[in-house]
Amino acid sequence: MEVPVPKEKWTGSIGEMELGASQEKGGSRRSLRLGGSKGLPFLSFEDPANRTVALAGFVADSLEDVPSPVKKAFGEAVNDPVRWAVAWKEKGADLICLHLTSTNPEEKDVSPEEAAATVMAVMKAVELPLIVYGSGHAEKDVKVLEKVGEAAKGERLLLGQAEEGGYKSIAAAAMANGHAVVGFSNLDINLAKQIVILLTDYGVGRGDVVIDPLMAALGMGLEYSYSVNERIRISALSGDSMLQVPMICDCVSSWKAREATDEVPHAGDTLERGIWWESTTALAALLSGADILVLGHPEAMEIAKEAVKGLRGDA
Amino acid sequence: MATAIEIFKHLPKKNCGDCKFPTCLAFAMQLANNKAKLDDCPHLSEAGRTALASSSAPPIHLIKVGSGKNVVDLGDETELYRHDKRFFHPAAFALRIADDLGEDDLYKRLSYARSLRFERVGQVLKLDMLELECRSGNAEIFAAFVKKVASETELPLVLRAKQAAVMSAAASMIKDRRPLLHGADASNVKEMCAVAKACACPLAVGADDLNALAEMVEAARKEGVEDIVLDPRPTGLKDLLERCTIIRRSAIRKTFRGLGYPIYLSIPAGRDGILMASTAIMKYGSLLSFEDLPAANAMPLMVLRQNIYTDPQVPIQVKPDLYPVNNPGPESPLLFTTNFSLTFFTVMSDLEKSKVPVWLQVVDTEGLSVLTAYSAGKLTPESVKNALLATGAMERSKIGTLVIPGMVARMAIKLNEATGLQIIVGPKESSGLPKFLRS
Ligand code: B12
Ligand code: SF4
């Protein structure tokens, strides 16, 4: 008996983009192709192209906000973003996600120049593409990312992040130097679309935008993210051009969920549970549409890698 | 449910209005939206009724396993995506126990199964079933084993055996418990169907590809078995995702009717198994039978299931009220939080840890967390004040202060104006409360 395969007739697809510029393209790194999906995640009968998902290793240049199991996993290397990034490369990360948290004026207040030097040092040590964030301090981030953008001109970084309340300077920093930019929005499909509209109206190419719809961790609102991501992807495939951009999901926040690592009777080893907390969040992101995952713990990276392989059928 | 036009074809077309709708077409439209019942039309012909009853059957059958108070509902889902409405019957977790275990190991395994139970945001997350597997190949051994385990547990059961004779011996003994029988395949379908019918139990049918699976379903139905569960036997993650998606879509979109049953998945031990289980929770699994379910995996999987199966329209919430914690008196401090379950239970557990007697006012924020509620304008000086007045909180705690969540320090001045209470800004994270309250 022949069971017909119920394919959805999608009219749209996710735009393709490249991160990291190779030597031919004026940079010095490996380049990575993203996006291009023509169907819902990992359904080869809808999208035989077998797309990939890029796995980014989380690195910060200051340790205030770094979950302690993540610090432990990398040992001494966490005190130096360069060594930390190198460790990620050895562990098979596709790209590095560097947070310049040291620039926060309420903490170490490191200067934009120094921060840019850190970025350049990391780039010299690993030839992987880079995602670079400031510290989350709106005014300072503008200055930091401007400097970083200039210093790394032509390397095709992904700069984070542009928000509805303030996106122009970071968009400008990206445009002037050939970088791409993360458009952040808060768990809402309309806001996700809004930030893409704002960015593209301002002049950023649609092929230079990655959206971050905020991946809430397991037990911390994962269900909202799962559905928002899924709706974004479905709208994009149904033809909404403003949502036809790759999606980034940060899973490191999983370690902030207390249940991930609190002592709970009968809930097993806390480290093991924490790793699965992050991995489960990652899997929900994968199945709801992520094109880039940011991961904190190396074992969560390993598990996510296995998941992507398994879902693509090349395990 | 069929479309209004399909339904309309089978109606009497008298437009008499006895169904309380002006025309048959209007009635058909209400039926299509599940807003009316077939019985509301008194003039329906027998043929029309049969045709409509079958087309209004749920796209995925509801299969009940277990008896009395201990029943697990499988299937009866209506959506492909949870945001379209919701997913209804959370994937059931079963732990597999084989009949070749020694006495000691068996009891260890049973007590382990009982220990897999967590309370979270006011709900109980737990193992739902046990699957008893025949590895001995011996009907007597298996039957004795099933009987023993059945007397030790009230959980609904799955019986797993390859030979119908073995299954029959065990199933007939506990048929009142209505176990799921696993299962039929091409080698034994007739015999297994006979056992399922004799015991009036649901039957799992399995095959290595979906075409063969659809044939198995048809074969079982020909034998008169209606309570069917599908085992699509995926060999890996890709297979699992794709087969489950095809089954669910065929049923919901009605492109193929023969696979409208809940999905059973056998979950192997190890990392791959856990990834398969997580995928199955999000993508349409109804019953996951774990070869092994380590404690460190059980909780994330159960929380994932809880997350995915919450109603997208209604966050899990608690009753807005004044809660006494650690036996407070008039001299005890007053604090407030929101009625989002996650927020409430996190704060509550930290307050209990502190052992300091306090009054906790829970403000109705329609189930939103502190910052979300604040941003949405549902946690305002006014709403806090009204909550305090409604419960008489200021008469219970007489010291004239109010401790507020650190995240909404911005509210302090307006709150002071609104309530006359002295506002003390608490820590941002409630984990800081024990230390904060003791000082
Ligand atoms: C899940 C989520 C949602 C869900 C709702 C979940 C829910 N039921 O509340 C949805 C998708 C609906 C949502 C919507 C919005 N959200 Co929202 N959301 C989140 C998210 C990811 C998690 C919130 C959560 O569950 N936290 C966990 C609970 C336990 O935290 P909590 O209630 O704050 O409790 C803690 C503390 O406050 C403290 N505490 C609690 N009570 C008390 C009491 C005392 C006395 C003390 C001392 C301490 C204390 O202890 C608790 C544990 O640490 C956060 C980001 C994040 N990762 O935190 C954003 C976040 C809260 N949302 C935000 C916003 C802006 C919104 C929206 C306005 C945006 C929009 N899309 O329009 C809407 C508003 C809702 C609406 N219009 O209906 C912002 C708030 C910004 C701000 N700083 O004010 C946040 C911080 C995201 C961000 N970084 O921008 N959101
Ligand atoms: S009662 Fe029946 S026949 Fe009369 S209008 Fe309603 S559907 Fe038509």
Domain residue ranges in chain A? 17-312
What angle, rounded to 10 degrees, do the helices at B189-199 and B210-222 form?
A: 50
Above 90 in pLDDT, residue A169? yes
Which chain A residues are within 8 Å of B118, Cβ to Cβ? 264, 266-267
CA dihedral (B256, B257, B261, B266) in degrees, to 10, reads -30
What is the pLDDT at residue A162? Answer: 95
Which chain A residues are within 8 Å of B236, Cβ to Cβ? 310, 313, 315
Cα R_g (chain A), whole angstroms: 19
Identity of the residue numbered B10: H
pTM of the model: 0.91
**What is the 3-class SS of B318-335, one letter each residue?**
CCCCEEEECCCCCCCCEE
Residue of A266, A271, A281, A306 best to disrupt the B interface, most CBs of B under 10 A? A266
Look-up: residue for tokens 């941003």?
B375
A296 in Cβ contact with A255 (< 8 Å): yes
Look-up: residue for tokens 């959805």?
A8
What is the pLDDT at residue B1? Answer: 52
Pocket test for ligand 1, best of B361, B375, B403, B429 (most atoms within 8 A of CB): B375
Does the structural domain B62-308 have CATH classification 3.20.20.20? yes
The SS3 assignment for A184 reads: strand
What is the pLDDT at residue B315? Answer: 86
Tell me if chain B has a CB within 8 Å of the CB of A280: yes
B318 lines ligand 1 (CB under 6 A): no
Question: What residue owns the CA closest to ligand 1's atom 59?
Answer: B372
Q: Report the candidate in A231, A292, A283 with the shortest Cα–Cα distance to residue A35.
A: A292
pLDDT in tens, A39-86: 999 999 999 887 789 999 999 999 988 999 999 999 999 999 999 999
Torsion-angle region of B394 (φ positive above 0: left; ψ -120 to 50: alpha; else: beta) = alpha
Residue count of chain A = 315
Per-residue pLDDT of chain B (439 residues; tens, 9 = 90+): 567 888 898 899 999 999 999 999 999 888 877 778 888 899 998 888 877 776 667 889 999 999 999 999 999 999 999 999 999 999 999 999 999 999 999 999 999 999 999 988 889 999 999 999 999 999 999 999 999 999 999 999 999 999 999 999 999 999 999 999 999 999 999 999 999 999 999 999 999 999 999 999 999 999 999 999 999 999 999 999 999 999 999 999 878 889 999 999 999 999 999 999 999 999 999 999 999 999 999 999 999 999 999 999 888 889 999 999 999 999 999 999 999 988 998 999 899 999 999 999 999 999 999 999 999 999 999 999 999 999 999 999 999 999 999 999 999 999 999 999 999 999 999 999 999 999 8
Residue A7 to chain B, least CA–CA distance (Å):
9
- The arithmetic mean of pLDDT across residues A24-29, rounded, is 91
Which ligand gives the minimal distance to the CA of A185? 1
Domain A17-312, CATH among 3.20.20.20, 2.40.10.340, 3.30.2420.10, 3.30.420.140: 3.20.20.20
Confidence band for A315, pLDDT divided at 50, 70 and 90? low
Which chain B residues are within 8 Å of A10, Cβ to Cβ? none
Pocket test for ligand 1, best of A163, A164, A186, A231 (most atoms within 8 A of CB): A186
Q: What is the CATH number of domain B4-56?
A: 1.10.15.40
Which ligand gives the minimal distance to the CA of B343? 1
Residue ranges of chain B assigned to CATH 3.40.50.11600: 322-438
Angle at A160 between CA A305 and CA A228, to 5 degrees: 65
Residue of A50, A280, A281, A314 best to disrupt the B interface, most CBs of B under 10 A? A280
**CA distances for A298 relative to A285, A308, B137, B402, angstroms:** 17, 15, 44, 44
What is the pLDDT at residue B2? Answer: 66
CB count within 10 Å of CB B108 equals 12
Tell me if chain B has a CB within 8 Å of the CB of A59: no
Q: Report the candidate in A255, A221, A189 with the shortest Cα–Cα distance to residue B369.
A: A221
What is the pLDDT at residue B335? Answer: 97
A187 lines ligand 1 (CB under 6 A): yes
Measure CB to CB from residue B308 to each of A42, A44, A226 and give the nearest one: A226
Residue A279 has which token pair? 């991995």
pLDDT in tens, A108-128: 999 999 999 999 999 999 999
pLDDT in tens, A200-256: 999 999 999 999 999 999 999 999 999 999 999 999 999 999 999 999 999 999 999
What is the pLDDT at residue A299? Answer: 98
Beta strand segments in chain A, E: 16-19, 32-35, 54-60, 95-99, 130-133, 158-162, 180-184, 209-212, 248-250, 292-295
How far is residue A84's CA from residue A251's CA, in Å, rounded to a whole number?
18
What is the pLDDT at residue A51? Answer: 79
Question: What residue owns the CA closest to ligand 1's atom 21?
Answer: A216
φ/ψ of A39, rounded to 5, equals -155, 180
What is the pLDDT at residue B55? Answer: 67
ipTM tops the 0.85 cut? yes
Above 90 in pLDDT, residue A194? yes
Range B322-438: architecture per CATH: 3-Layer(aba) Sandwich (3.40)
How far is residue B12's CA from residue A222's CA, in Å, rounded to a whole number?
49
What is the pLDDT at residue B54? Answer: 67
φ/ψ of B273, rounded to 5, equals -60, -45
